[in-house]
Amino acid sequence: MKIRTPLALASVLLLVSVGAFASGDSDEASSDGPVPLILSAWGGQEVADFYAANAAEFSRLSEGRVDASFRHITADYNQKVQAMIAAGDAPDVFLLGSSNAPLWWRKGLLLEVTETVHEHGLLDDSKWYSSLFSSSRDGDTFFGLPDAMNVFLLLYNKTAFDKYGVEHPTEDWTWDDVKAAAMQLTVDENGDGVNDLWGFNIWHTWSMWYQVFLWSWGAEWAIDAHEADTLPWLAGKDWQKGQMVDSGAAAALRWLQDGIYKDEFIRPRVGATVAGEAFQQGLTAMDIVGTWYLETTILVDDFEWDIAPIPRVGKGDPHVTQMTVSPWVVNARTEYALAARELAAFMCCNNFVMETMRRDTPLSKEVAFSDAYLKIPGAPPSYQLRVDIIDMIEHPRYWNRQIPNGAEIEQALNTEMEKLLINSQSPEDTAANVDKEVARLIAKGWE
């Protein structure tokens, strides 16, 4: 695997290689040998290979002061890491889902990394997408360093649009435009009574997809305390209650339900075909996806495709996207706090393996706008939008639930949305039921 180091990371690498573990500067430098560190994360084998390569590179740059290795956890990730912490055998640095990080921080399982953030200048917005660091903070304290981010966009099949004479999506598109195009693009091509192409796709039982869809309609379902303090349109909102009914979410839910059962332009849940595979198999003309999905879509050669901003309710409404950021966190029980913090900073801010750059959006602006990242074989004409969209959004929204019982709240949304999508529950009842569950779960407090 070829490793490449962006110039933007010089300060991080310099600190690791000659500063942080220099004799006399750290009580972790030992005459007994290098400091042993364990790094852990989830993911498939390709991702595991990438993280292992990063751990090895960190060790090399430390010039013998650190020996970092990667421990791959393939299933039941959160449960296994918590069990390891209890047994005193947990990794020193590990990736943690954004829904769980605030709770783990409040339980005292994570070490703060505030000094590390400031030492490396990671809040310098001229070099980094520094707003993403707010997704792992508690007031002025940081408890995680974000992994590379993903944003959500509209993905569309250019070949299908051209074949049926439908105008391509633009940044001015509304959800009415999506519906009009999708109805033209829902086609029984061979006349057998079964649609071969559907205009639009839904990722069933995935709260992240539902959330960005609701936001694009100006609707809310649950807001966390950090958002209530920082987003103008949420000022004064009671973050301890559900927001679906008050925000008019029923209109967005009606669009989805009618799209399946009345207007019939949304692909229903069919058999074992995974929602994410439908677009790449040419079964749907449009989809809302995270930018990680583009890495494998680039390999599709059966049709041409491109990306556009997520549609809005009305022309002139603000653009919305969702930024997904899982933080690298440091085990509060690590014996090597300084070295572990530096490893977390390294994992947060390197992005020097080309294959991973294709999946995620680097936090370094220099890397994000580099030819190596944007000009890759198979990329569509609007590929740079995956980076430009970040600056198009006045107030970014994060896949981050700094809210009590966030994971359970996400599951409550999934449960109620599935009732809507199988036509067993009305949009109004769905909104009311989600609000009820959000209020109940928040009232339980941090557990």
Residue 375 included in any domain: no
> Can you give the pLDDT at residue 404?
81
pLDDT at 364: 86
pTM of structure: 0.84
| Candidate from 86-95, 184-193, 221-230, 411-420 with smallest mean pLDDT | 221-230
pLDDT of residue 31: 55
pLDDT surpassing 80 at residue 252: yes
Q: Is the pLDDT at 165 greater than 90, yes or no? A: yes
Do 160 and 213 sit in the same domain of this protein?
A: yes
Based on the domain organization, do 156 and 138 belong to the same domain?
Answer: no
Work out the average pLDDT over 30-50.
86
How does DSSP classify residue 293?
Answer: G
Same domain, 239 and 362: no
Burial level of 95, CB count in 10 A (0-12/13-18/19+)? buried
426: pLDDT strictly greater than 60: yes
What is the H or E stretch that residue 330 is in? strand 327-331
Q: What's the pLDDT score for residue 161?
A: 98
Q: Work out the pLDDT band at 275, boundaries 50, 70, 90.
A: low
What's the pLDDT score for residue 358? Answer: 61
Separation CA 116–CA 340 (nearest Å): 11
Number of domains in the chain: 2
Q: For the domain that residue 25 is a member of, what is the CATH number?
A: 3.40.190.10
pLDDT at 21: 43
Mean of pLDDT values over 117-135: 87
pLDDT score of 69 more than 70: yes
Rounded to whole angstroms, how far apart are CA atoms 146 and 152? 17
Is the confidence at residue 46, as pLDDT, over 50? yes
The pLDDT-based confidence of 224 (bands split at 50, 70, 90) is confident
pLDDT of residue 356: 53
DSSP 8-class letter at 366: H
Residues 40 and 107 in one domain: yes
Inform me whether the pLDDT recorded for 40 exceeds 80. Answer: yes
Would 374 be classed as within a structural domain?
Answer: no
Mean of pLDDT over the chain: 85
The answer to whether residues 228 and 234 touch, using CB atoms and an 8 Å cutoff, is: yes
Residues 282 and 334 in one domain: no
Cα dihedral: 297, 301, 302, 303 (round 10): 70
Whole-angstrom CA distances from 329 to 103, 115, 404, 419, 442 are 12, 14, 19, 36, 24
For residue 411, pLDDT beyond 50: yes
Distance in angstroms between the alpha carbons of the first and the last residue of the chain: 42
Is 376 within a domain?
Answer: no
Average pLDDT for 363-381: 87
Burial of 80 from C-beta contacts in 10 A (0-12 / 13-18 / 19+): middle
Q: What is the pLDDT of residue 73?
A: 95
- Does 3 score more than 50 pLDDT? no
Question: Is 136 in the same domain as 155?
Answer: no
Whole-Å CA distances, 210 to 161, 276, 336, 357, 414 = 25, 14, 40, 26, 8
Does residue 302 form part of some domain? yes
Q: Is the distance from CB of 374 to CB of 13 less than 8 angstroms? A: no
pLDDT for res 354: 39
- Distances, alpha carbon 327 to alpha carbons 127, 148, 183, 373, 374, in Å: 19, 9, 40, 22, 24
Which of the residue ranges 90-99, 128-137, 153-162 would you say has the lowest mean pLDDT?
128-137
User: What mean pLDDT comes out for the span 313-340?
Assistant: 89
- The Cα 354–Cα 85 span in angstroms is 33
Residue 423 lies in a domain: yes
- Which pLDDT belongs to residue 351? 56
Q: Are residues 141 and 155 in the same domain?
A: no
Q: How many other C-beta atoms are found inside a 10 Å radius of the C-beta of residue 414?
A: 16
Confidence of residue 15 (pLDDT cuts 50, 70, 90): very low
The whole-number pLDDT of residue 343 equals 94
Helix axes 249-261, 427-443, angle to 10 degrees: 130
pLDDT > 70 in the chain, percent? 88
Contact 434, 426 (CB under 8 A): no
Query: In which residue are the tokens 């960190």 written?
Result: 58
**Domain annotation covers residue 277:** yes
Percent of the chain with pLDDT over 90: 53
Task: Please report whether residue 81 resides in a domain.
Answer: yes
CA separation (Å) from 32 to 62, 339, 340, 341? 16, 16, 18, 21
pLDDT digits (tens, 9 = 90+) for 327-359: 999 999 999 999 999 999 999 887 554 345 566
Which of 368, 399, 422 corresponds to the end of one domain? 368
CA distance 214 to 219: 5
Kindly calculate the radius of gyration of the chain based on its CA atoms and give it in whole angstroms.
Answer: 23
Structure tokens given for 347: 């994992």
- Residues 313 and 224 grouped into a single domain: yes
Predicted confidence band at 137 (pLDDT cuts at 50, 70, 90)? confident
**How many alpha carbons lie under 13 Å from residue 59 in its C-beta half-sphere?**
17
> Same domain for 397 and 250?
yes
Beta-bridge partners for 154: 288, 308
Q: Mention every residue, 6+ apart, whose C-beta is less than 8 A from residue 320.
A: 212, 215, 216, 310, 312, 393, 397
Domain annotation covers residue 314:
yes
pLDDT at 384 over 50: yes
pLDDT at 363: 83
Looking at residue 171, its amino acid is: E
My answer on whether 79 and 178 are in the same domain is: no
Q: Where is average pLDDT lowest: 132-146, 185-199, 399-413, 431-445?
A: 399-413
- Statement to judge: residues 429 and 362 lie in one domain: no
> What is the domain range of residue 428?
151-323+388-443
The pLDDT score that the predictor gives to residue 133 is 81
Residues 250 and 213 both lie in one domain: yes
What gap in Å lies between CA 382 and CA 393, rounded to an integer? 17
